[in-house]
Structure 1
Amino acid sequence: MGEVTELLGQLRTGEPGVAEGLLCAVYDELRLIARYQFAGEGAECILQPTALVNEAYLRLVSGGRLQPFDSRGHFFAAAAEAMRRILIDTARARGSQKRGGQFRRVELGELADESIQMTDLWLDLDEGLERLATVDAASADLVKLRIFAGLSIVEAGELLEMPRSTAYKNWEFARTWFAVQSES
């Protein structure tokens, strides 16, 4: 049994100090996931990877106690989902009319910023994932882990405890589903 799985088991029994130990054990992995999220972001990104990891961890903690997780996969799926929600909330806030999101500072001679396009892309992806989840929740979960955690199809399938062939079928289904949705 791995260290994370063992800590998750101890967490369920209520042992003191386990939440801190779990954070220490997964922090580097969560930072890698967060860095992956920001690979395509422009310089105007509001959050940084460390802030994203910290915010995601805070969302996983409820009432001062870390939520119980069934497995390592369940924990990382929840962390990826928390990061996705944070990025979507940030994109919505950035684009919000009441916060002046339609305006941005432009230095003389600056080219069009890619972060505006990224904001729209995050929001479109979130909307698509919500619709896909109503059709095939397993495929939506796989896409979330691939896109928001930067995992391979095999790694995401393992975390979701699905056979490799099923993971590949779900990935192909999601790709096809998104392609059909974009045409209509």
Structure 2
Amino acid sequence: MDRSIDDEYRTLVRAFNEGAPDASGELFEALYHELRAIARRHLGRERAAATVSPTVLVHEAFLRFTGRPIDRINDNRHFLALIARVMRQWMVDRARRQQAAKRGNRPLMATFAEDRIAGDDGLDAADLLALDDALAALRERDPAMADVVEFRYFVGFTIPETASALDVSERTVARHWEAARAWLLVRMGPRGPR
């Protein structure tokens, strides 16, 4: 990364942490292209996403993000991860509304194949909800593994990028990623979330 860009991010993060009123908007603008790429990945994994554009998802997530109290952010990667989490939550809320309208609020029973965890196939609303439920359960069990899933699957970071963002070794990220994928697949098996 260009040193001047890295310095710009540090300055914006510092301003955000100090409570500067326009800092979140400036950080959002500076990272806008990366946020759109994250949104495209999110939408590429949801089959019913044709009605939502990456721009809409980015802006909806930013509106939700600015409405939440955030004590501080560590760096631009932390900011991206927070926005990616908000994007995921917006999509999950949207999927819940769709499922409620479609099925009259019946309990969710979904199947989930390994190729979906790997990102090779799109998620339908039921699978997205099942993944969100399973990820919440994983976070309670092992927050570090849940963080790796969020960075790898939802933000789209590589193993080295995830290791850098989480300040752990690449080997730890690879181990957590494999274990988390296996745990999620068992949790989200043919009988649905447990």
Q: Give, in whole Å, the separation in 2 of the partners of 1:160 and 1:137.
A: 12
The amino acid that maps onto 1:101 is K
What is the CA-CA distance between 1:59 and the residue it aligns to?
Answer: 1.5
Letter in 2 for 1:95: Q
Letter of the structure 2 residue corresponding to residue 31 of structure 1: R
3-state SS of 2:25 partner:
helix
Report what 1:77 is aligned to.
Answer: 81
1:112-127 → structure 2 map (5 Å cutoff): 118-127=124-133
Q: Percent identity?
A: 33
Change (3 A) 1:90 1:173: same
Structure 2 matches for 1:77-96, cutoff 5 A? 77-96=81-100
Gaps of 5+ in 1: 104-115
8 Å contact 1:142–1:167 — kept in the other structure?
Answer: yes
User: What amino acid is the match of 1:157?
Assistant: A
Letter of the 1:86 counterpart: W
Q: 1:51 to 1:92 in 2, by over 3 A?
A: same
Deviations 1:121-145 (A, max 9, x none): 1011011101111111111111012
User: How far apart, in 1, do the equivalents of 2:175 and 2:47 lie?
Assistant: 33
- What's 2:40 paired with? 35
Equivalent position SS for 2:151: helix
In 2, distance between residues paired with 1:149 and 1:22? 17
Task: Summarize deviations over 1:140-160 as a string: whole Å, max 9, x none.
Answer: 111012221122222222212
In 1, Cα distance between equivalents of 2:29 and 2:123: 35
In structure 2, the CA distance between the partners of 1:134 and 1:66, relative to structure 1 (3 Å rule), is closer
Aligned-residue CA RMSD (Å): 2.6
Number of residue equivalences: 168
- TM-score, normalised by the number of residues in structure 1: 0.79
Distance in 2, matches of 1:159 and 1:15, equals 24
* Secondary structure of 1:38 counterpart: helix
Q: For residue 102 of structure 2, what is the aligned residue in structure 1?
A: 101
Q: Distance in 2 between matches of 1:76 and 1:57?
A: 11
Matches of 1:33 and 1:44, distance apart in 2: 14
Matched residues in 2 for 1:21 and 1:31: separation? 15
Which of 165, 175, 179 aligns to 2:181? It is: 175
Where structure 2 has 5 or more consecutive residues not aligned to the other structure, the ranges are: 105-121
Runs of 4+ residues deviating >4 angstroms: none
Cα distance in 2, alignment partners of residues 176 and 42 from structure 1:
23
The Cα of 1:17 is off from its aligned counterpart by 3.2
